[in-house]
Structure formats: structure tokens, C-alpha cells
Amino acid sequence: MDDVSEAGRASPSTGPPELVAEVRAILARNAFVEDVDRLADEANLFDAGMNSLTAVRMALTIEDHFDVLFADDALTRESLGSITALARLLEATLTGDVGPG
Amino acid sequence: MTAPTPTGAPTERWASTSCSTGVDDEDQHIDAWRRIFDRHARSAALTGDLSNVWISSYTGEPIPAAEMDEWLDATSDLILRCRPRRVLDIGCGTGLVMSRVAPASERYVGVDVSPQTVDILRRRIADEGIPAEVHLARADDLSVLAGQGFDTIVLNSVVQYFPSTAHLVSVLREVSGLAEQAATIIIGDVRNSALMEAFHLDVALARSSPDDRMRGVLDRAARARRTDPELVLHPREIVEAVALVAPQATVHIALKRGRYENELSRFRYDAVVTLDSAEELGAMRIDLTLDWGRDVHSIADAVAAFDGLRGGIVRGVPNRRTGWTAFADVPLEPTTREFMELQEQRAAAAVDPEVLCRAFEHSGFEARPSWHPGAPCEVFDVIVQHGEEQRSP
């Protein structure tokens, strides 16, 4: 029982695994940061060399890929700061928790 | 790294077409960057007070404010030395250069491709009382300024977002229609394609562990070089682009002034285009040309050699800032720690351009560190001219 519910639930702390994987693939494909393969899901992307303009470029690419629109004020150094955080932002936007501003 | 700090190719949607050079693709490239800059300008929660901060590619940390100030001072000085009266600032962004240079000029006009950025700058101009105006325009269509004339035209940290060298030529053509006869065009903060291997190697080194082998570091650097989305230009390409539009002009490829050593000072340059080359060359006094390593071997000797002279050139000075400039040169087997020791040995035999320039300035000369477009970029020249204040008391 416990195992099933654990696996079936998208944990708010880690982000849903399938979105994490897709975000990771987009980052790798576009090389928004170097050596994505060596980065943990929680690793800080700004520490890995990303700057704010690249962060915006990355957000736009994710928007295009999933056909969503992030609210301007939802783009922060936290929400774009790791693969996990991006997956959480994406999930919240897809499920309407954070609508386009 | 870059200003409000970019490193970016536009988005996936058009990335696959970015290698072709059709007009449609160029428009797509420019539109993609416009969209990025628009969104960047709107995302105050992301950029906030950091919009004028650049992030170091080496560490991911903001470049120290003192280094950014020195970079901005050097850029402003370069423009102010032209004694600007009517300035056109193309790609003015949020007004970094404008806020420093506009108060010293009669008229200052900025243009930018991003509507949101223009809105923000208009508010800033009003709030801070900056004596300037700003228009929404693409660099290759300045019809909004038709009939006006400018003596100083600035494109600072802008050409890296251009889709191609051909686009730079179109922009120069458009600009030349607004340039007064003796105008100066400053193409600032250009990423030097001859040093891009060195740049990416440097970044990969900074992000490696001391015991990593150089082979792996070079692989990472080569990968980063391949995915670098911005336009990089060899000094020679700038010279050729200018020659197509203004055959009479001279182009001076200036190394960055400043005591700081970071990616801005090492791997970028400012191209200063003087349209009326007769005036520029007529005013230049070349009493002596020295080759470093043959005629002189030290800074003190070089300065002493110009004692009593009006000016000249010191050529082929090994550049402390650029280090290993080509992958072919780099040994594969050592660890990064061993390699960095080798690098320091090399640097010890080389000259910091800023130190050389200041030594000349201390003796009353103006000094301009330069890359000769035909020479390798691991060496530089310094052009020295005795200061006017010394000639006329």
C-alpha cells in the first residue's frame, strides 16, 4: 500500500519524475548549462554557469515545448534554479496552480 | 558571459535553422533574441537588481562590482575620448553606457530592438533625468532617425546577437547613412573568435578538479565551443566588413583597458572605426617602431626607448591575458593542476597590456593596446603618442 501510494504521487519536493526527465533532456539538447549529465536534479543551475538571459531562453524553450506560458512573476532565481524546480514550475503551470499572469 | 548577461541561442523552435543564412532565417534569429530580451526585461522577479550584473562563466558568481565598474569606465572612456557631441547608441539596452555618456554630449539617442526594454529605459530616463531619448528600432532599419546626423555611433556588446557577419555589414551600411563625415563608430565588446578555444578552455579548467586530466577538460571545452550560440568575430572580419561599406575608414582593434583580468578583458575587444582616416593618420606620429623580443625585452627598456620622441609602436608583445590560444598547443596527459603550473610559467614571461600602457602613460604618453588584424592574438601591439597637454602647455 505505502509503496504504491509513494510511487504514484508526484512529490512536491522533487517534482514529477517524467517532467524532471523531460526538462533534463531539453537542457541537455540545448546546452543551457554545460555537462547536464553530471548535474544532480537539485543542483543549482546558476552555480553551474547559467545567467539570467540564458535562464529566460531556457524558460521560453520549455514553454514552446509544452505549449504553456509561465507567468512573468513566476520566473525567479528559485523557480528556474534547478531541474527539480523547473519541473515543479512546469507541473504547477500545467495543472493551473499558477496561471499565466 | 554577457550583459545583462547572456549566453544564449534562441529557442529550439528555430535552432535547427540557425545555420542557414537566408533573410527569413536572419529575421527569425533577430525575432528570437527580441523575444528573449523582452521577456528578460519583463521578468523583474528574476533579474531584479541583478539586471546590470554579469555572471562569470568561470564561477557562476556575479563578476565583482569593482571589475564591472572598471569595464564600464573603460567603455565610457573609449567613447568620451572621441569627444562625442551627437551620439547614436544602437542596442542601448537598459542604458548602462547612456547614463554615463549622455550627460557629456549635446544629444544622445538610443535605439533597441526590444519594446519592453525600450519601455523600461524610457521610465529610467524620466525618473533619473538622463538627457537622452530612445526609439524602438532594429539596427539594420534606422529610418526612424532619417535625416539626422551623428558624430559618434556606438554598438556596445551587441554584435554577438547578430545572426551573421553579413548582417553586420547591413547594419554598417544603414549606420553610414546617419554618420557625419568625420564620425567614429565604436563596435564594442566583440567576442574574439581567435580566442574562443582559449576562453572555453579557461572556463572548463576553472570548473574542473585539480586531478582531472587535460584530455577530458579539452573535450568539455570543445563541446562548449560547439554549442556557444553567440556570434564571434575575428578582428580581420570586422576590418573586412568595414572595408565593404567605408573603404576610406581605418579600424583600430583595441584590447580592453583595465587592471582586472576576467573573460571581458581577455577575450573581447573594441573596434574603433574612424571614417575620416586622413585626419586620424595625419595626426599620428610614428618616430619609432620596436619589435618586442628583438629590440626590447622589458617594459622599462620600451618606455626608455621613446624618451624625447613623439610616438610610435611596440609590436609583438606576448599577451599575459590570453594564455593558451589554440587547442593544438595543449598537452593532453597532465592533470589540470600540472597544466595550470605550466600556464603560470608562460604567463610569467608575458606582459600585462594594462601594466605596459600605464608605464607609458606615466611618462606622458597616450597608449593604446591593439591587436593587429593580421597577427596572432597571443601577442599585441601598443601604439603610443605623446600627450597633447605635454606639447602645448
| List of residues 6+ apart from B378 with CB closer than 8 A | B318, B319, B322, B323, B325
Amino acid letter, residue B220? R
A67: left (phi over 0), alpha (psi -120 to 50) or beta: left
Nearest by Cα to B333 from B215, B210, B166, B253: B215
User: Does the structure show a pLDDT above 80 at B331?
Assistant: yes
Could A52 and B2 be called an inter-chain contact, meaning their C-beta atoms sit closer than 8 Å? no
B44 CA: distance to closest CA in chain A (Å): 7
* CB atoms closer than 10 angstroms to residue B227: 14
DSSP B144: G
Considering only residues 15 to 54 of chain A, which have any Cβ-Cβ distance to chain B shorter than 8 Å?
Answer: 26, 29-32, 34-35, 44, 46-54
Residue A98 pLDDT:
55
Residue B13 pLDDT:
40
Please tell me which residue of chain B has the smallest CA distance to A44.
B60
For residue B8, give the nearest of A35, A57, A65 by CB distance: A57
Could A52 and B207 be called an inter-chain contact, meaning their C-beta atoms sit closer than 8 Å? no
Residue B14 pLDDT:
37
Q: Are B183 and B86 contacting, i.e. CB atoms less than 8 angstroms apart?
A: no
Nearest by Cα to B60 from A84, A33, A29: A33
Strand order in the sheet with B365-370: B133-136, B107-112, B86-90, B150-156, B179-191, B268-274, B250-255, B365-370, B379-386, B311-318, B288-291
pLDDT band at A33 (very low <50, low <70, confident <90, very high): confident
What pLDDT digit, counting tens, does each position of B268-286 carry?
999 999 998 777 777 889 9
What pLDDT digit, counting tens, does each position of B252-269 carry?
999 999 887 778 888 999
What pLDDT digit, counting tens, does each position of B1-54 carry?
434 333 333 444 433 334 445 778 899 999 999 999 999 888 876 766 444 566
> B384 forms bridges with which residues in the sheet?
B312, B367
Residue A72 pLDDT:
87
Distances (CA, A) of B18 to A59, A76, B160, B238: 19, 29, 14, 21
| List of residues 6+ apart from B366 with CB closer than 8 A | B360, B384, B385, B386, B387
Residue B8: list chain A partners with CB under 8 A.
32, 53-54, 56-57
H or E segment and range at residue A97: none
ipTM at complex level: 0.81
Please state, rounded to an integer, the average pLDDT across all residues of chain A.
82
Task: Provide, rounded to the nearest whole percent, the portion of chain B with pLDDT above 90.
Answer: 62
Residue B39: list chain A partners with CB under 8 A.
56, 59-60, 72, 75
Distances (CA, A) of B27 to B50, B167, B170, B191, B375: 29, 10, 13, 22, 34
Mean pLDDT value across residues B337-348: 88
H or E segment and range at residue A28: helix A17-30
pLDDT band at A14 (very low <50, low <70, confident <90, very high): low
What pLDDT digit, counting tens, does each position of B125-168 carry?
999 999 999 999 999 999 999 999 999 999 999 999 999 999 99
What pLDDT digit, counting tens, does each position of B104-137 carry?
999 999 999 999 999 999 999 999 999 999 999 9
H or E segment and range at residue B110: strand B107-112
Task: Provide, rounded to the nearest whole percent, the portion of chain B with pLDDT above 70.
Answer: 90
* More reliable by pLDDT, A88 or A6: A88
CA distance B60 to B260: 18
H or E segment and range at residue B381: strand B379-386
pLDDT band at A4 (very low <50, low <70, confident <90, very high): very low
Residue B157 pLDDT:
92
Residue B44 pLDDT:
73
Mean pLDDT value across residues B366-385: 93
For residue B11, give the nearest of A35, A57, A73 by CB distance: A57
Helix (H, G, I), strand (E, B) or coil at B331: coil
* More reliable by pLDDT, B345 or B352: B352
Q: Are A54 and B8 contacting, i.e. CB atoms less than 8 angstroms apart?
A: yes
pTM of the model: 0.86
Helix and strand tally (H, E) in chain A? Answer: 4, 0
| List of residues 6+ apart from B289 with CB closer than 8 A | B312, B313, B314, B315
* Kind of pairing between the strands at B268-274 and B250-255: antiparallel
Could B224 and A31 be called an inter-chain contact, meaning their C-beta atoms sit closer than 8 Å? yes
The chain B residues in contact with chain A (CB within 8 A) are: 1-2, 4-13, 15, 35-37, 39-40, 42-47, 50-51, 54-55, 57, 60, 203-204, 207, 220, 223-224, 227
